[in-house]
Amino acid sequence: MNSFLTIAMPKGRIFEEAAELLRKAGFQLPPEFDDSRKLILEVEEENLRFILAKPMDVVTYVEHGVADIGIAGKDVMLEEERDVYELLDLKISACYLAVAGLPGTKISDISPKVASKYPNVASSYFRQQGEQVEIIKLNGSIELAPLIGLAERIVDIVSTGQTLKENGLVEYAKITDVTSRLVANPVSYRIKEQRITEIVDRLAEII
């Protein structure tokens, strides 16, 4: 069991892009790997074990050492501030964090509200702008907040901007670019440095 290197991977689009990247780097992942509903997948030929998790949970698994390495969005790393090593920018799932709201509206001087599933990122950004705002944490459909009067601004991930447009919202500021990163547990990195470095080198070659 201990010979396996455990990788935490986010479900969804990032998983598909990351699996494709691993294949291009020469890792033999079986075809059924992509369609499996299992949460733990083992690829014995490569001595790899994959844990499939929600994107926000990947860095938690890596920090606590149940996964040696993981693939996490920069947005998650900024929000969670976990004790992990960032090893490589995989340059997949590119998007960015932005401030948005209804067109032609200003942030209120009295009790301004900002909705986001990234409360730490949002709070930090507005603090840097010298603005004191109340952050309302939401887990989904962030675009709804300005439409129903819950908040004047939102901080969310933008990839094409289509969702904002369809909901009548406009972008007010770009906070930072986001791509997926390869991260490692500090203890695992020391114990399994050779194996992890090999993976980093093979991925770096094809990025």
pLDDT of residue 37: 84
pLDDT of residue 13: 87
pLDDT of residue 106: 87
Q: Cα angle at 167 between 161 and 173, to 5 degrees?
A: 45
pLDDT by residue, tens only, the chain of 207 residues:
458 999 999 988 899 999 999 999 999 998 877 777 889 999 999 999 999 999 999 999 999 999 999 999 999 999 999 999 999 999 999 999 999 999 999 888 788 999 999 999 999 999 999 999 999 999 989 999 999 999 999 999 999 999 999 999 999 999 999 999 999 999 999 999 999 999 999 999 999
Alpha helical stretches, state H, the chain: 13-24, 58-63, 74-80, 119-128, 144-147, 162-166, 186-191, 193-206
Q: Is the dihedral of CA 98, 102, 105, 109 positive or negative?
A: negative
pLDDT of residue 1: 44
Distance from first CA to last CA of the chain, Å, rounded? 30
What domains sit in the chain, N to C, each tagged with a CATH number?
5-93+179-206 (3.40.190.10), 95-177 (3.40.190.10)
Residue type, 183: V
